[in-house]
Amino acid sequence: MISLKTLPAIAAIFPFAPLEACTGAAVKSAVIKRSILLNGHKTSVSLEDEFWDGLREIAADRNVGLSALVQEIDHGRDNCNLSSSLRVYVFSYFHARVSRAPVGAGVTPSAAATTRAAFAD
């Protein structure tokens, strides 16, 4: 179980995640299936709504369309399914953003380390 002390660091890594997801309260995060244009063909991708939100935020940060971002991730993936690759990409993006955050930017290096330790179990 994640302690309440780690919530600020978790919220910084996943700013789009509802607080209930961080507290361990029963949260039902629906997997949303969406069609997306990938390499000129429509394909369905199933992700939790929080990951769709994260992908949209990343696309906006990079000033690219969602389809272009998903296509880039698709081209770089190795032998795992697209949905898993997208989840890992979103997690890695926000984790890297927290790791680069200067002290005083809302997340201290010790808070990020606390978050990593909380998930190490």
DSSP class per residue in 65-85: -HHHHHHHHHHH--SS-HHHH
- pLDDT attached to residue 78: 85
Helix, strand, coil distribution of the chain in percent, nearest 5: 60, 15, 30
**To 10 degrees, the CA torsion angle through 68, 44, 39, 69?**
10
Phi-psi region for residue 20, left (φ > 0), alpha (ψ -120 to 50) or beta? alpha
- pLDDT attached to residue 20: 56
Residue with tokens 């989840």: 87
- pLDDT attached to residue 107: 44
pTM above 0.85, yes or no: no
Q: What is the mean pLDDT of each run of 10 residues along the chain (121 residues)?
A: 52 57 61 90 94 96 95 90 95 90 52 42 38
- pLDDT attached to residue 57: 96
- pLDDT attached to residue 72: 95
- pLDDT attached to residue 70: 95
- pLDDT attached to residue 109: 42
d(CA 115, CA 105): 16
- Residue of 13, 43, 48 whose CA lies nearest to 27: 48
Q: How many CA atoms lie within 13 A of 7 on its CB side?
A: 10
- pLDDT attached to residue 75: 92
